[in-house]
Structures are given as C-alpha cells and as structure tokens.
Amino acid sequence: MKNKKIIYIIIVLILGLTVFGVTKIFTKDNNEEKTENKPSTTSSTTVTTTTTTSATTTTTTTTTQKKTTTKTTTKSTTTTKTTTTTKKVEEKTEKEDNGSLAGTSSKGYEITYKNGKYYVDGYLIVNKTYKLPSDYNPGSLDSKTKSAANEMFADFKAATGTKMWAQSGFRSYDTQKSIYERYVRRDGQKGADRYSARPGHSEHQSGLAFDVCVTGYSCISSGFNDTAPAKWLDANAYKYGFILRYPKGKENETGYKHESWHFRYVGEELAKKLYNDGDWITMEDYFGITSKYAD
C-alpha cells in the first residue's frame, strides 16, 4: 500500500512537469509570432548647436538613429550663443611725432608744440605770438624750399630774361638779434617792430622764408613794390608753393607792413588757398591765430 502511494506521487509529478513544459513552449512560440507581426520603428535625434562670435557663424548638426520595437522618439535642441567684442579707441591729446596739444585756434585748428616750435594744422608758425627757440638753427634754407625757389627763379628768367635770387634766406637767432637791435637804435622799438622781427620771431630763422632780389630793381625795400618782378611774383609764387607772407593792407593781421619781396614756403596746396585768386589771405586769418608780442 505504501509503495502504491509513492508510485502514484511520482506519476503525478511527471504529468505536472510534462504539462508545464508544453505550456511554456506554446507561450514562447506565440510571443515570437506576435513580435514578428509588430512593425519596427526608427528614432531620430537631431541636436543643432549654433555659435556666433564676432560675425562668424559655425553650425554643427549631429543626427543619431536608434532602432527600437516599442516607440518612436524625436528630440530637437537648438542652442545659440552670440559674443560681441567692441574695441575701445582712445583719443589722445598728445600725438607721437606731432608734439603735444598746446591749444585750438579761433577757427578750430589744433596748435601743437614740439621741440620748442609751434605748429598749426601741421604748419610751422613763426610770428609775433609764436617764436622759435634761440638754439634752433637749421643752418640754411629747407631743401624743399630751396628746390622750389630755384625752379621759380629759373622760370622767371625764362619768361623775362632777368635774374632773380634769394638775397636774404636763413638767419640765425644771433644774426636776427643784431639786425633788430640796429633798427631799434635807428627807428625806436615801436618803429622797428613794424618791419623787423625780434630775435626768435623771424621766419628767416625757420629756413622756410627768404627775401627776393632782381637784377636792375630795388632790393629789399619799398622801392620794389609795384614793379614788374613784384607783380610777377604776386601772380605766380603760389604755383611753386610760396605765399606772399605780408600782403598789402593786412598789417593788423600779420603784425608787419607790406613786403612785396618776402616769401614763405608752405607747399602748393595751402599756397593756392591763400593766394585766393590774387586776394591774398594771411596765415593768421586762415588759421585763426594772432600775431602780437606779449609786451
């Protein structure tokens, strides 16, 4: 009896295991069939990053595809970064190689001071207000001044057959001092100041000015005024870069009476402007500066 129970239990166990195994196989096949009938989908993820720096744009696009059997996911992320750089520009009142700013003229031109000399809009100024240092000594006429003068003298001779030359060109501080003091002894300071510069205030010391003489005519005197050579110079000097420095009727501007023989080199561009179709404009009037001694 006992043995029959044991056999009965074994048979039941065997039948249970057999049924379990068959059921598992059937379920697996069914699941695989369902899976094969499901469509596969594709997930696409796109990330776009745009970076802009100082007008340069770089765009990078990365696309990642992932196969899945459950769902479709699409994610898009865009990041934009912009950087602007501004360069600061500094305005200087002191310019390299152009000296330091000494002021501004009544007409808005910058007056600079460099190595003891004054410049207005880049042009060296020498008059009763603005002087040269006593040790400034170029030794002779400036090379451009000399070259332009020689060209003008040659053209005058070709046109008239008469010789023209620079009788009085460069003068040192000490030479001007001696000349001025001699005139003061003769005419007094007030009288001398009308036609002779005090030392340091003479354009002759700059090496940019000279007095003209012509064969057969009065030299460096009022006798030269209204002569044919004086009229030729008045009408043609600007073509070579020279200006009539002390025009007639402009003593209140220049500080000196009319000198038809005294010319200053400034270059053709400015000379043409100051010529003004024969109605000369002084440097003082053009730039808006004074020409007066401090005392």
SS3 content of the chain, % helix, strand, coil (to 5): 40, 25, 35
Number of other residues whose CB lies within 10 A of the CB of residue 222 = 13
Grouping H, G, I as helix, E, B as strand and the rest as coil, residue 215 is coil
259 counts as catalytic: yes
Structure tokens at 24: 């598992």
Token couple for 195: 């036609």
CB-based burial of residue 279 (10 Å sphere; 0-12 exposed, 13-18 middle, 19+ buried)?
A: exposed
Catalytic residue among 203, 253, 259, 284: 259
State CA 217 to chain mean position distance.
Answer: 48
Length in residues, the chain: 295
Residues 6+ apart with CB under 8 A from 289: 105, 106, 109, 111, 120, 125, 127, 129, 130, 283
Q: Which residues are catalytic?
A: 259
